[in-house]
């Protein structure tokens, strides 16, 4: 069960990171970076959420593999 949940989180993390990278190259993010010096909040949350999901998924997959 941990391996399936971990694989799902791993996949979701990869997708969120890809969407976050695409959002960081968008026009809205460029405008935000011009005025604020940082990308939009949506971009940052997608990248942070993707990284967290990726790490948690990797942990669960490896933990499930160790227990089997």
| pLDDT tens per residue, range 49-59 | 999 999 999 99
Count CB atoms within 10 A of the CB of residue 36.
10
The predicted structure's pLDDT at residue 6 = 93
What ranges in 1-68 are assigned the alpha helix state H?
2-24, 27-36, 41-67
Query: C-alpha distances in angstroms, 46 versus 19, 29, 63?
Result: 7, 13, 25
Domains in the chain: how many in total? 1
The predicted structure's pLDDT at residue 49 = 97
The predicted structure's pLDDT at residue 1 = 79
- The pLDDT tens digits of the residues spanning 20-43 come to 999 988 888 888 888 888 888 899
pTM for the predicted model, two decimal places? 0.84
Q: Could you list the residue range(s) of the whole structural domain that residue 36 is in?
A: 2-67
Indicate whether 66 pLDDT > 90: no
């Amino acid at each position: 069960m941990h391996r399936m949940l971990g694989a799902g989180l791993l996949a979701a993390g990869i997708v969120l990171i890809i969407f976050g990278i695409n959002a960081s190259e968008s026009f809205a993010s460029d405008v935000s970076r011009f005025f604020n010096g940082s990308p939009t909040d949506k971009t940052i949350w997608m990248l942070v959420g993707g990284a967290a999901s990726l790490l948690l998924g990797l942990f669960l997959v490896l933990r499930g593999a160790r227990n089997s």
